[in-house]
């Protein structure tokens, strides 16, 4: 006699068999290595005297950090090269100059030996100053080399005590190097000033800021950030735009980063073959205080200065990124030997800093360039890349139909057997 459990198992097995080809196409291997460069992460921990405060679930901030580190070390993906740097861990004196040099690498960035890393963390005790700026500079050096993703996770409970080396400016300088390094920050029971400073550091490199008041929050968030480093990412390429099109760098399809001064314009060049379409988009982040009304303009121009198409956007200070884009299809030519057209891309901004804000380095700019086959003028949806999913949708519909038919047949069979008995 066929039971309901067997019926359900049979249908599930059938669905699994039908969808196996969708989930794992022929030739695909689930655990096949992708050849990506190893991602690097450095955890930067504040070990200053204020970490003795007992305000995180009844224990000290230092105890919460140690517990979080141990849990994260256990869960770190094998492909991630991880290191640990401290600030304020060794000097107990009152000399500011010496205290502001107190940053050291506790565990080098590389393949992780969990036992050794945990043993190093166990030796930490709250000690001295809070040299965040110097620690970030050293951490950026620790992560040099290789082509993988790079991430600094900074955990602190207070403001930097080593001004005038402003850690916000340090973060902007790191971002301006175009090395694709992200800084995420976590504030332990932060006050308003600490929150503002850590948010500024994260914003400068496209990272995130998180306020933490409980041990579980700290462990979960640090773990998420380490895991995120292992995710596949597109690493942007540094490009230096020129003051005019004739000296502009020639770009191919890809993601590029640059810096643009306030009110400046930058030029780039892209070659578009007949029958291709240029798609470009640009984003500029106001990573420091700017005046409320601002905008940006992206223009596609011929080498002779004639405007082809433009995209523009305006902001009011409510968001920290302004973006726009454009598309330019190059008509096909009857001449198979027709040359490519050089299109000049001009990026202009009208950002203005508030009083007292440093204007260097320039604002972070991200430019996406994509040169693809021009869409079919007949209006075929597939020409825009949307048609590639129709086969998958059809297969899913067919799978559902077959599953329904088989389920109905089995149900009728079960009822017939029940009536017979």
Q: Which CATH architecture has domain 40-230?
A: 3-Layer(aba) Sandwich (3.40)
Per-residue confidence (pLDDT) for residue 21, from 0 to 100: 43
Task: Convert the pLDDT of each residue in 183-217 to its tens digit.
Answer: 999 999 989 999 999 999 998 888 889 999 999 99
Per-residue confidence (pLDDT) for residue 349, from 0 to 100: 93
Task: Convert the pLDDT of each residue in 146-162 to its tens digit.
Answer: 878 899 999 999 889 88
Task: Convert the pLDDT of each residue in 222-248 to its tens digit.
Answer: 999 998 888 766 667 889 999 999 999
**Residue 391 DSSP SS3:** helix
Q: Is the per-residue pLDDT at 378 higher than 50? A: no
Provide CATH code, domain 237-373: 2.60.120.380
Q: Is the per-residue pLDDT at 6 higher than 70? A: no
Per-residue confidence (pLDDT) for residue 148, from 0 to 100: 83
In this prediction, residues 7-28 reach a mean pLDDT of 41
Task: Flag the least confident range among 4-18, 246-260, 298-312, 400-414.
Answer: 4-18
The model's pTM is 0.62
Per-residue confidence (pLDDT) for residue 418, from 0 to 100: 60
Between 4 and 91, the higher pLDDT residue: 91
Task: Convert the pLDDT of each residue in 51-83 to its tens digit.
Answer: 999 999 999 999 999 999 999 999 999 999 999
Task: Flag the least confident range among 5-19, 39-53, 169-183.
Answer: 5-19
Domain layout of the chain by residue ranges: 40-230, 237-373
Confidence of residue 26 (pLDDT cuts 50, 70, 90): very low
Write down the mean pLDDT value for the chain.
82
């Amino acid at each position: 006699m066929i039971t309901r459990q067997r019926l359900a198992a049979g249908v599930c097995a059938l669905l699994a068999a039908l969808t196996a080809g969708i989930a794992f196409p022929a030739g695909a291997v689930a655990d096949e290595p992708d050849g990506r460069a190893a991602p690097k992460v450095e955890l930067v921990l504040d070990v200053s005297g204020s970490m003795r405060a007992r305000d995180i679930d009844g224990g000290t901030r230092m105890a919460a950090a140690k517990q979080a580190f141990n849990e994260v070390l256990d869960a770190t993906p094998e492909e991630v090269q991880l290191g640990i740097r401290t600030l304020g861990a060794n000097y107990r004196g009152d000399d500011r100059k010496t205290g502001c040099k107190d940053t050291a690498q506790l565990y080098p960035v590389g393949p992780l030996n969990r036992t050794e890393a945990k043993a190093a963390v166990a030796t930490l005790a709250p000690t001295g100053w809070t040299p965040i700026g110097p620690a970030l500079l050293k951490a950026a050096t620790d992560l040099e080399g290789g082509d993988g993703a790079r991430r600094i996770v900074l955990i602190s409970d207070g403001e930097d005590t080593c001004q005038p080396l402003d850690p916000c400016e340090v973060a902007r300088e790191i971002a301006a190097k175009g090395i694709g390094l992200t800084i995420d920050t976590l504030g332990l029971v932060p006050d308003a000033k600490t929150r503002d400073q850590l948010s500024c550091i994260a914003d400068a490199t496209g990272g995130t800021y998180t306020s933490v008041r409980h041990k579980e929050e700290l462990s979960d968030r640090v773990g998420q950030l380490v895991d995120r480093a292992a995710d596949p990412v597109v690493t942007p390429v540094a490009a230096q735009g020129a003051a005019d099109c004739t000296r502009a760098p020639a770009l191919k399809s890809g993601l590029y980063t640059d810096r643009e001064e306030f009110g400046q314009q930058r030029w780039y060049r892209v070659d578009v073959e007949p029958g291709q379409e240029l798609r470009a988009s640009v984003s500029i982040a106001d990573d420091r205080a700017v005046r409320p009304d601002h905008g940006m303009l992206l223009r596609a121009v011929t080498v002779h200065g004639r405007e082809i198409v433009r995209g523009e956007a305006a902001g009011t200070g409510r968001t920290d990124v302004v973006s726009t884009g454009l598309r330019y299809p190059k008509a096909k030519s009857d001449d198979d030997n027709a040359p490519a057209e050089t299109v000049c891309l001009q990026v202009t901004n009208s950002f203005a800093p508030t009083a007292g804000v440093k204007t260097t380095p320039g604002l972070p700019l991200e430019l996406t360039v994509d040169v693809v086959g021009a869409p079919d003028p007949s209006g075929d949806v597939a020409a825009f890349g949307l048609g590639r999913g129709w086969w998958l949708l059809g297969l899913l519909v067919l799978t559902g139909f077959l599953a329904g038919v088989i389920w109905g047949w089995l149900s009728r069979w079960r009822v017939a057997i029940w009536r017979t008995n």
